[in-house]
Amino acid sequence: MIKSFTTRLSDSSFPILVLSYSILMMHYVFSRAFRDSLLGSRLPVSELAGLTFLGTLLAITLSLVCSLFLRSSARIHVIRFFYLINAVAETIIAFQYQTHSWMLRAYYIEVSASTAIGLSLIWVLIGDWTSNCNQGNTNKVPSVLISGTAAGMFAGFGLVHLPSASNFRASLLMLAVMDVCVSAFLLLHRDGSCVTAGKKRFEDLNEVGKHWSSAVVRMLAIVTILGATASTLLDLVFRVRVAEHFGSQADRIHFLGALQGFLCLGALLSQFAVRRITGGPWAKRCLTLYPGILTAAALASVAMPVFHVFEFLRIGEYSLRNSASRCGIEMVYAALPDRLRVEVRPLVDVVGERLGDMSAAGILHLLLLGRTGMNFGYTLLVVASLGTALWICSEWLLRRVDHMKAVAESDNETQLPLQKLAREGAVLA
> Is the confidence at residue 19, as pLDDT, over 60?
yes
Counting Cα atoms < 13 Å in the Cβ hemisphere of 318 gives 24
Which of 1-5, 87-91, 277-281 tops mean pLDDT?
87-91
Domains held by the chain: number: 1
Contact (CB, 8 A) for 112 and 52: yes
Whether residue 164 lies inside any domain: the answer is yes
Whether residue 343 lies inside any domain: the answer is yes
Which of 92-106, 183-197, 272-286 tops mean pLDDT?
92-106
Q: How far apart are CA 8 and CA 408, in angstroms?
A: 28
Percent helix, strand and coil across the chain, each rounded to 5?
Answer: 85, 0, 15
- Give the mean pLDDT of 221-241: 89
- Please, what is the average pLDDT of the chain? 78
- Which residue, 52, 155, 64, 166, is CA-closest to 110? 52
> Is the confidence at residue 169, as pLDDT, over 60?
yes
Q: How far apart are the first and last CA of the chain?
A: 29
Region of poorest pLDDT, from 123-127, 178-182, 273-277, 422-426? 422-426
**Identity of residue 185:** F
Q: What are the tens digits of pLDDT across the range 377-391?
A: 888 899 999 999 999
Residue 399 belongs to a domain with what CATH number? 1.20.1250.20
Q: How far apart are CA 429 and CA 423, in angstroms?
A: 10
pLDDT top residue among 393 and 238? 393
Contact (CB, 8 A) for 333 and 127: yes
Give one DSSP letter per residue of 151-216, joined into a string: HHHHHHHTGGGSGGGG-HHHHHHHHHHHHHHHHHHGGG--TT-EEESSSPPGGGS-HHHHHHHHHH
Q: What are the tens digits of pLDDT across the range 131-156?
A: 666 555 566 777 788 888 888 888 87
- Give the mean pLDDT of 219-241: 89
Whether residue 426 lies inside any domain: the answer is no
Whether residue 4 lies inside any domain: the answer is no
Whether residue 35 lies inside any domain: the answer is yes
Whether residue 424 lies inside any domain: the answer is no
Whether residue 6 lies inside any domain: the answer is no
- Domain span including residue 43: 12-190+203-411
- Give the mean pLDDT of 196-211: 50
Percent of the chain residues topping a pLDDT of 90: 15
Instruction: Give the pLDDT score at 7.
Output: 39
* Global pTM value: 0.71
Whether residue 420 lies inside any domain: the answer is no
